[in-house]
Amino acid sequence: MHAIPLTTPPLAPKTRQALLELGIADTADLQRITPATAFLLLKASGLTVTESTLWQLVLLAEGREGYLNEAEQAKWRAKLRAHRPVARFPPREESERWMRQALQLAVQALDAGEVPVGAVMVHRGEIIGRGANACVAEHSVCHHAEIAALTEAGRRLGNYRLDGCDLYVTLEPCSMCAGAIMQSRIRRLIYAAAEPKTGAAGSVLDLFANKQLNPHTAVQGGVLAEESAQLLQRFFQERRQG
């Protein structure tokens, strides 16, 4: 199916403009991101939308005209209920800028003989929490970079609830850190490299998509992933050699 630009009609002008601002300009974009995700992003951006907008997005993505029958509507309602949290993420340049701060902390961990993972917590354009892995130094499996960043940020804000904050971490969180992140109600988690052995944001399991856990955090991976992976490779190579 050829990509067809999104137009008004059938979409309302404000809906079309909001989709363009989200980077969804044609039916190919809509198919890639899925109608359910696009609909939830519209809501997250502050636009007032009803189910009829979702039905329009579905029809556009599927290249159809007309309407959805009751069974189809029920299917898409179920997809919305099961959908993981969504959010508009910062521009790539901004995300990379914060991630480089986390990578500097990962280098410090590497120099100290720790698994090289770093994390920074950002609130209103300012770093309010920093952390680097320190399990060896502290003789505790709890001293992961994410936990340190969460702890410092909580002390800065005077609250363990960190809604409105973004956490940048150089490696996909494990289940322990993912649980702490969700308990903190962090708005957005941005990580660099995936962790195929213990990752709890989609690699091994996805706690952030488990509705039984009442998730609130939207997740984005792959920001400066190669730089993070190189640090990890260096660490494990040195361990094998030494």
Which pLDDT belongs to residue 64?
92
Do 135 and 233 fall into the same domain?
yes
Q: Give the phi and the psi of residue 122 in degrees, each rounded to 5.
A: -115, 130
Of 146, 152, 172, 195, catalytic: 146
Do 134 and 217 fall into the same domain?
yes
For the stretch 175-200, pLDDT in tens is 999 999 999 999 999 999 999 999 99
Do 78 and 96 fall into the same domain?
no
In CATH, what number is assigned to the domain containing residue 22? Answer: 1.10.150
11 DSSP assignment: S
Which pLDDT belongs to residue 242?
65
85 DSSP assignment: P
The pTM assigned to this predicted structure is: 0.89
165 in a labelled binding site: no
Q: Which two tokens stand for residue 220?
A: 């984005």
Do 135 and 158 fall into the same domain?
yes
83 in a labelled binding site: no
135 in a labelled binding site: no
Q: Give the phi and the psi of residue 85 in degrees, each rounded to 5.
A: -60, 145
Q: Taking a C-beta distance cutoff of 8 angstroms, is the pair 165, 122 a contact?
A: yes
Domain annotation covers residue 8: no
Do 34 and 106 fall into the same domain?
no
Domain endpoint, select from 60, 82, 104: 82
Do 101 and 23 fall into the same domain?
no
Domain annotation covers residue 3: no
Do 147 and 35 fall into the same domain?
no
For the stretch 209-223, pLDDT in tens is 999 998 999 999 999
Do 41 and 131 fall into the same domain?
no
* Total count of domains within the chain: 2
By residue range, what is the domain housing residue 45? 13-82
- Average pLDDT for 53-58: 97
Do 108 and 161 fall into the same domain?
yes
Q: Which two tokens stand for residue 164?
A: 């409105």
133 DSSP assignment: -
Q: Taking a C-beta distance cutoff of 8 angstroms, is the pair 59, 66 a contact?
A: yes
Do 124 and 167 fall into the same domain?
yes
Please confirm, yes or no, whether 126 is among the known catalytic residues: no
Do 51 and 129 fall into the same domain?
no
From 182, 179, 174, 178, select the one nearest 199 (Cα to Cα).
Answer: 174
- Average pLDDT for 92-106: 98
Domain annotation covers residue 228: yes
Do 106 and 220 fall into the same domain?
yes
Domain annotation covers residue 220: yes
